[in-house]
């Protein structure tokens, strides 16, 4: 009798399990229980699964802290700072890296990234009157309505001279208008995991609702340096080219890097080589800088400083930050 009761009890358990799996018996279990499949109910149930999906952040420098400062770095005049070891996938130093701030012309890294992904370097764009920005203090390469320039030329004006008019030319050339391009910037940023930033324009001039975090900039910059053209431009001190005006006459464009490490005005620590980067300055965002650097063994790093009180102090604090590389 006990044996019979045990058999009945086991049958009830099996029926209950089948009901749970199949949804009261009316629907088949969609994932097959196949021990030979790399993805199956067996793999989820088996404690010693042979394969597992890689996490989203396996290739990223991450930290759960809002600051990482177990070192001698003194970042006092800058509102946010970040130093990432790309090979070790570690944040060496962080200060307010998740705080939303204005990026000024560091915005142009995202503009360049979208342009390189969706455009071709030989594409020729025609400037509209929107390139003739009149805001006081706005840096321009001198574009006028009707001027024509290749994307390659425009990217030099964008990243080296920090031309706001070049940013508008690129945005309209890629997407037809600035609003559509900004929507694409935001879409691409979120694909990279940069979820705490929002772009309202392609150049970084002050606009309500336009902001980034130092960590988002790291994510964006890390993607941008995958493009050889981007690396070549940010490593260049000088550049000259010729483009056309509305009448077809030649106009000369001369660009000089705004990065004072590339120009030789400031020197990084002796064990660090600055490959290049992007500067940004507005009265509201203050002084900003993002860099791509390598140590003597060729290991890559990304460093960011946002909202520093003065340009000279910006480079002093960035040099102090870079001194943490390969210690």
Residues annotated as catalytic are: 105, 108, 162
Contact assessment for residue 75 and residue 95, using Cβ atoms and an 8 Å cutoff:
yes
Q: Dihedrals φ, ψ of 277, to 5°?
A: 175, -160
Q: Which of 215, 216, 220, 184 is nearest to 202 (CA)?
A: 184
Quick one: CA dihedral 266, 212, 310, 111, positive or negative?
positive
SS (H, E, C) 46-68: CCCCCCCCCCHHHHCCCCCCCEE
Q: Mutual orientation of helices 164-175 and 151-159 as an angle, nearest 10°?
A: 140
The SS3 call for residue 193 is coil
d(CA 284, CA 13): 68
Contact assessment for residue 139 and residue 189, using Cβ atoms and an 8 Å cutoff:
no
Residues in contact with 134: Cβ distance below 8 Å, sequence separation at least 6, in sequence order: none
For 197-248, the DSSP string reads -B-SSSS----TT-BB-HHHHHHHHHHHTTSHHHHHHHT-SEEEEEEE-TTS
């Amino acid at each position: 009798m006990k044996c019979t009761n045990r058999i009945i009890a086991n049958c009830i358990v099996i029926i209950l399990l089948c009901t749970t799996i199949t949804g009261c018996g009316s629907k088949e279990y969609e994932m097959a229980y196949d021990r030979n499949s790399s993805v199956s109910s067996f793999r989820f149930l088996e404690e010693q699964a042979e394969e597992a999906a890689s996490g989203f952040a396996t290739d990223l420098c991450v930290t759960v802290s809002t600051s990482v400062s177990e070192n001698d770095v003194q970042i006092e005049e800058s509102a946010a700072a970040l130093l990432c070891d790309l090979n070790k996938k570690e944040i060496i130093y962080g200060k307010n890296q998740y705080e939303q701030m204005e990026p000024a012309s560091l915005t142009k890294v995202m503009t360049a990234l979208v342009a390189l992904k969706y455009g071709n370097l030989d594409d020729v764009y025609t400037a509209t009157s929107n390139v003739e920005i009149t805001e006081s203090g706005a840096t321009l390469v001198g574009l006028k309505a009707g001027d024509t320039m290749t994307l390659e030329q425009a990217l030099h004006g964008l990243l080296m001279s920090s031309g706001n008019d070049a940013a508008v030319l690129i945005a309209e050339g890629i997407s037809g208008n600035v609003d559509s391009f900004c929507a694409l910037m935001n879409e691409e940023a979120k694909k990279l995991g940069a979820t705490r930033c929002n772009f309202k324009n392609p150049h970084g001039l002050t606009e309500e609702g336009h902001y980034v975090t130092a960590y988002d900039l790291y994510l964006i910059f890390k993607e941008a340096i995958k493009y050889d053209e981007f690396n070549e431009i940010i490593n260049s001190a000088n550049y000259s080219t010729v483009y056309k005006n509305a009448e077809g006459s030649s106009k000369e464009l001369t660009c000089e890097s705004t990065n004072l490490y590339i120009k030789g005005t400031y020197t990084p620590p002796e064990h660090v080589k600055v490959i290049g980067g992007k500067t940004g300055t507005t009265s509201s965002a203050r002084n900003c800088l993002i860099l791509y650097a390598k140590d003597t063994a060729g290991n890559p790093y990304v460093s960011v400083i946002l909202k520093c009180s003065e340009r000279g102090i910006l480079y002093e604090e960035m040099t102090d930050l870079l001194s943490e590389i390969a210690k």
